[in-house]
Amino acid sequence: MEATGKISPANVGFEKQYGPLINGEMTKPANGYIDSVNAATGEVLAQIGRGGEEDIDRAVKAARTAFTGWADTSIEARSALLNKIADILENNQERLKMMECMDTGRALHEFDLDYQLAIYQFRYFAGAVLTHYEGESRPVDNGYLMTKKEPLGVCAQIIPWNVPMIMTAFKLAPALAAGNTVVLKPAEDACLSVIEFGKLLSDVLPKGVVNMVPGYGTEAGQALIDHPDVDKLAFTGSVGVGRLVGKTAGERILPVTLELGGKAPHIVFPDVDIDSAVENATLGYTFFNGESCILGTRLLVHDDIYDEFVEKLIERAKQIKIGPPTDRSTRLASIINEKQGERVLNYFDIAKEEGANILYGGNRVTVPGHEHGYFIEPTIIEAEPNMRIAQEEIFGPAATVTRWSEVEEMIQEANDVEYGLAAGLMTEDLESALDVANKLDAGSIWINSYFNFQSGAPFGGYKNSGVGREYSKEALDEYSQSKSIVAGFKLPPPGTFL
């Protein structure tokens, strides 16, 4: 059903309960339900199934049964269905955005980008899959060599709470395009829009191709990665849980994709237009409410412009509107939950103890009517590169600022963290920028425009930021395997070998 009319928090229409979505049906969870709350107000929005082993087993069985039929569906038909999914997401986006905004606490206006990226994902893989299966075929001595790609089977996918629909699209689109079936475990804190989308998928996909089981990570998530009949593990989230998923994959010899944390450097050269650079830097550390692994949270600013840049950065931070998530003019809203909010605030205490200088922000703000939420000021911290605040992922709207003067030293500093997901550079000297970009340990590098996402650009991390690539054609390889067949015309005559 397409959403019509103006969507508001009052008419967004959550279901009362969201059980595991298996075989295209909302089912009853074996272990009852848990409340799912509005991140900013604490209001109970709905109840979600507390998925456990039994639910996961039903979901994996459904995905297994659906696999052969889906794998045998022609790539043209799968491509058409992916385009249909993109249409469905496009037609229902206003309602789903509002749901996701209330569920996550992030500012409503941000979801325009989230949904644009999610819709593009399905369209991109609808196109990319058409050429993915062009195997090789060539004559060899007395026969032919053929190569082909085959899907892996049932994919277990676990996603986090920060950007639910982007993550859903990043995981589902390549897996489905390549001919796999899926059991997806969304984050317990933000799964309502995802399961609503799952319901819409049931109208177009064969039963069992996509199954979703909500619940706690330690229950539903753990049961999913431990299930003996899954063929691939794909995870986005913290390094700690990523290690666990990787270990399970290692023990079971399963292919695995991990997209983990980040601590991206955003490098400012002395030749920039300072006002524009400040704008780009501010977007880079505050968008997604600061809750993203790709944010440019380490600002490395050339000594020649450091003082003016930092002064303007603080002025810009003061102008950012903190307010109710569902108000379209809000630019910073609520952190997902108390645990994450306290974690962010605790990092500011750590920064002070380490001797870093909080130049602006660092506090929780009260938004009337939303006292439950953790609204945190945009925070700018002057820090040494080796301090924890400049090394560890904060996952809140905060950036460190550090001076640099020698390019090679700056590159070393930029790379001197455990992560390597993204990086940014700002300069008018493209030659220098490309030289530095080539030396940075990061999977995605944006020059002069942070978050410049382009369909088909591989996305994934160096070092502890993960294993594998998403968002690009390479993701199809993460969800398929190659087979070669050498066909001889005739058996070799007797006496050929002995």
Q: What is the DSSP string of 338-354?
A: HHHHHHHHHHHHHHHHH
Nearest alpha-carbon partner for 196 in 62, 76, 26 = 26
Binder of ligand NDP out of 19, 198, 221, 468 (CB under 6 A): 221
382 binds ligand NDP (CB under 6 A): no
CB 453 within 8 A of CB 170: no
Q: Please, which residue, 41 or 222, has the CB nearer to ligand NDP?
A: 222
* Distance in Å, CB of 337 to ligand NDP, minimum: 9
393 binds ligand NDP (CB under 6 A): yes
Q: Please, which residue, 179 or 214, has the CB nearer to ligand NDP?
A: 214
Q: Please, which residue, 162 or 330, has the CB nearer to ligand NDP?
A: 162
* Distance in Å, CB of 344 to ligand NDP, minimum: 8
Neighbours of 318 (CB within 10 A): 10
Question: For residues 234 and 473, what is the distance between their CA atoms, to the nearest angstrom?
Answer: 16
Neighbours of 437 (CB within 10 A): 17
- Per-residue binding string, ligand NDP, 178-217, x by CB under 6 A, is -------x-xxx--------------------------xx
Nearest alpha-carbon partner for 264 in 287, 284, 283, 235 = 284
Neighbours of 464 (CB within 10 A): 20
Contacts of 39 (CB under 8 A, 6+ apart): 102, 103, 104, 105, 189, 190, 325, 334, 335, 336, 337, 373
Nearest alpha-carbon partner for 167 in 148, 194, 192, 147 = 194
290 binds ligand NDP (CB under 6 A): no
Q: Which residues pair with 158 in a beta bridge?
A: 185, 235
Q: Which residues pair with 266 in a beta bridge?
A: 299, 424
Q: Which residues pair with 365 in a beta bridge?
A: 375
* Distance in Å, CB of 55 to ligand NDP, minimum: 14
* Distance in Å, CB of 293 to ligand NDP, minimum: 4
Which listed range, 87-95, 238-246, 326-334, 375-383, lies at the site for ligand NDP (CB under 6 A)? 238-246
Q: Which amino acid, one-letter code, is at 462? A: Y
Q: Please, which residue, 121 or 236, has the CB nearer to ligand NDP?
A: 236
Residue list 342-381, contact with ligand NDP (CB under 6 A): 343
Helix boundaries (H) for 92-190: 93-104, 111-132, 164-177
* Distance in Å, CB of 489 to ligand NDP, minimum: 51
CB 313 within 8 A of CB 281: yes
237 binds ligand NDP (CB under 6 A): yes
293 binds ligand NDP (CB under 6 A): yes
Q: Which tokens go with 493?
A: 């005559």
* Distance in Å, CB of 261 to ligand NDP, minimum: 5
225 binds ligand NDP (CB under 6 A): yes
Q: How many residues bind ligand NDP (CB under 6 A)?
A: 28
- Per-residue binding string, ligand NDP, 145-174, x by CB under 6 A, is -------------xxxxx------------
Residue list 240-279, contact with ligand NDP (CB under 6 A): 241, 244, 259-261
* Distance in Å, CB of 280 to ligand NDP, minimum: 22
Measured in whole angstroms, the distance separating CA 496 from the mean position of its chain's CA atoms is 56
Contacts of 45 (CB under 8 A, 6+ apart): 14, 36, 37, 38, 102, 103, 192
Q: Please, which residue, 162 or 180, has the CB nearer to ligand NDP?
A: 162
Q: Please, which residue, 218 or 276, has the CB nearer to ligand NDP?
A: 218
- Is 259 annotated in the active site? yes
- 337 φ, ψ (degrees, to nearest 5): -160, 175
Which H/E stretch holds residue 302?
Answer: strand 298-302
Which listed range, 82-90, 124-132, 233-241, 467-475, lies at the site for ligand NDP (CB under 6 A)? 233-241
- 230 φ, ψ (degrees, to nearest 5): -100, 150
Q: Please, which residue, 376 or 411, has the CB nearer to ligand NDP?
A: 376
Q: Please, which residue, 269 or 451, has the CB nearer to ligand NDP?
A: 451
103 binds ligand NDP (CB under 6 A): no
Helix boundaries (H) for 160-202: 164-177, 192-201
Q: Please, which residue, 174 or 237, has the CB nearer to ligand NDP?
A: 237
Exactly one of 100, 110, 196, 259 is catalytic; which is it?
259
Question: For residues 168 and 321, what is the distance between their CA atoms, to the nearest angstrom?
Answer: 29
Which listed range, 130-138, 176-184, 235-243, 315-323, lies at the site for ligand NDP (CB under 6 A)? 235-243
Please give the C-alpha separations between residue 94 and each of 212, 334, 336, 362, 434, in angstroms, as whole numbers.
22, 20, 21, 33, 39
Q: Which tokens go with 77?
A: 């038909």
Residue list 394-423, contact with ligand NDP (CB under 6 A): 395
| 3-state percent breakdown (helix, strand, coil) of the chain, nearest 5 | 40, 20, 40
* Distance in Å, CB of 376 to ligand NDP, minimum: 13
Known catalytic residues are 259
Q: Contact residues for ligand NDP (CB under 6 A)?
A: 158-162, 185, 187-189, 216-218, 221-222, 225, 236-238, 241, 244, 259-261, 293, 340, 343, 393, 395
